[in-house]
Amino acid sequence: MSSTRTPGIRVDRRGNLIIDKEHRGIPIYVRLGASDQERAERRLAEEVRSVNGMLALRATRRATFADCAGRYLSAFSGKRAIEVTAWQIRLLLPYIGSLDVHRVHDATLQSFVNDRLASGVCATTINRTLEVVRAILVRAARSYRHQDGQPWLQTMPPLITMLEETPRLPCPITWDEQDRLFGRLPARLAGMVLFAVNTGLRESVCKLQWEWEVTVPEVRRSVFVIPPEAYKTRRAHVVILNDVAWSVIQAQRGQDPIWVFPYRGKPVGTMNNTAWQRARKEVGLPRVRIHDLRHTFACRLRAVGVSMEDRQALLGHANRTMAGHYASADVGRLLGQPNSVLKREETRTVLRFANAGGLWINVRQRSGRHTNERT
């Protein structure tokens, strides 16, 4: 190949002209075929103007935080916590969504932080959202690239200052508090929290699916095997159902083919909703969180002498899991542990919730036995 009188235009062995030039860091390569020098120079000038225009546009319109957030969500669409992350991003967009990503820092986030604090949101919750901002900025600087290879964020990600957190101690509830609190809840939520306080499950109660149910004939009971991708510890977890939890499950059958606790064909989004928050304030328990139902289950197991190993297995943070074999002996032994917390002297926890047929079921925990009564 040979060059021509114009740098960037050369001739191949067959006499065809080729534009092969780098302009302002952008490669330009065009095969012109059997063309003459004048037309090749005009084409080269057009390509150079196109590159100049693209760079000028890029200089005035850089990626916004909303662009980066959209890219972040699309990359993590299969993750378990994607819905929570999407919710946090929706909170942020009115404040920083239209900003050039280079302008996202503590100062531009301050109005978001102030508004969240003014609405009563705790520092820990705000920090979880700020952590999402930090993760997005890191990827904008290190992963996301324009066509010319330049990062969307062309500086080091700024340090996003976290708020000082006051550790919130566990707040397990007593049986009397459970009676008062649960009795104020609407039917759908009442069944879910009753299930949670008798199994120790986190908010994964909301996403419980029928396909995870596994029958154990030897104990005439089912368990639910939550797969690793749907459980916080990324390990499969076997949910053991005591008599109360089993009655809740029985009442939910037939309501939806997929979700155990459905709402209009979809899983319930969260148990920490307005109804929960209103009920806990009405009964004077404003500090009780949904996660405290798990603490309550753990405390009750410990109070009746359940070993640490069995408590770990029931709560889903043991070093080993039964999910691989569902040994009936293990299931039967563990089934007796959460049932032991029901052995009390007084009548407790009277709840009513509707089943698929419109009947009402009274769920009673009384003197160590559990009964279902149809009215």
Which has the closest alpha carbon to 268: 258, 280, 278? Answer: 258
Question: What is the structure's pLDDT at 346?
Answer: 39
Rounded Cα–Cα distance for residues 16 and 107 (Å): 58
Give the confidence band of 332 by pLDDT, cuts at 50, 70, 90. low
The arithmetic mean of pLDDT across residues 50-77, rounded, is 80
Question: What is the structure's pLDDT at 92?
Answer: 96
Give the confidence band of 294 by pLDDT, cuts at 50, 70, 90. very high
Predicted TM-score (pTM) of this structure:
0.61
Q: Give the HSE-up count for residue 87: Cα atoms under 13 Å, Cβ half-sphere.
A: 9
Task: Give the rounded distance of the alpha carbon of 189 from its chain centre.
Answer: 20
Of 226 and 340, the structure prediction assigns the larger pLDDT to 226
The arithmetic mean of pLDDT across residues 49-72, rounded, is 81
DSSP 218: G
Of 374 and 318, the structure prediction assigns the larger pLDDT to 318
The arithmetic mean of pLDDT across residues 19-46, rounded, is 84
Q: Tokens representing 343?
A: 């052995």
Q: Is the pLDDT of residue 90 over 90?
A: yes
The arithmetic mean of pLDDT across residues 304-319, rounded, is 79
3-class secondary structure, 305? coil
Give the confidence band of 229 by pLDDT, cuts at 50, 70, 90. confident
Print the SS3 string covering 126-142.
HHHHHHHHHHHHHHHHH
CATH node for 175-374: 1.10.443.10
Give the confidence band of 319 by pLDDT, cuts at 50, 70, 90. low
Question: What is the structure's pLDDT at 61?
Answer: 60
Question: How many C-beta neighbours within 10 Å does residue 126 have?
Answer: 21
Q: How large a percentage of the chain has pLDDT more than 90?
A: 38
Task: Residue count of the chain, please give it.
Answer: 375
Give the confidence band of 7 by pLDDT, cuts at 50, 70, 90. confident
Of 318 and 204, the structure prediction assigns the larger pLDDT to 204
Q: Tokens representing 149?
A: 């290879």
CB 340 within 8 A of CB 333: no
For the chain, the first-to-last Cα distance in angstroms comes to: 94
Q: Is the pLDDT of residue 367 over 50?
A: no
Could you give phi then psi for residue 296, rounded to 5 degrees? -65, -45
Q: Is the pLDDT of residue 299 over 80?
A: yes
Rounded Cα–Cα distance for residues 327 and 325 (Å): 5
Give the confidence band of 58 by pLDDT, cuts at 50, 70, 90. low
The arithmetic mean of pLDDT across residues 318-339, rounded, is 57
Q: Is the pLDDT of residue 328 over 70?
A: no
Q: Where are the domains of the chain?
A: 2-60, 65-142, 175-374
Question: What is the structure's pLDDT at 343?
Answer: 54
Q: Give the residue carrying structure tokens 């302009």.
A: 23
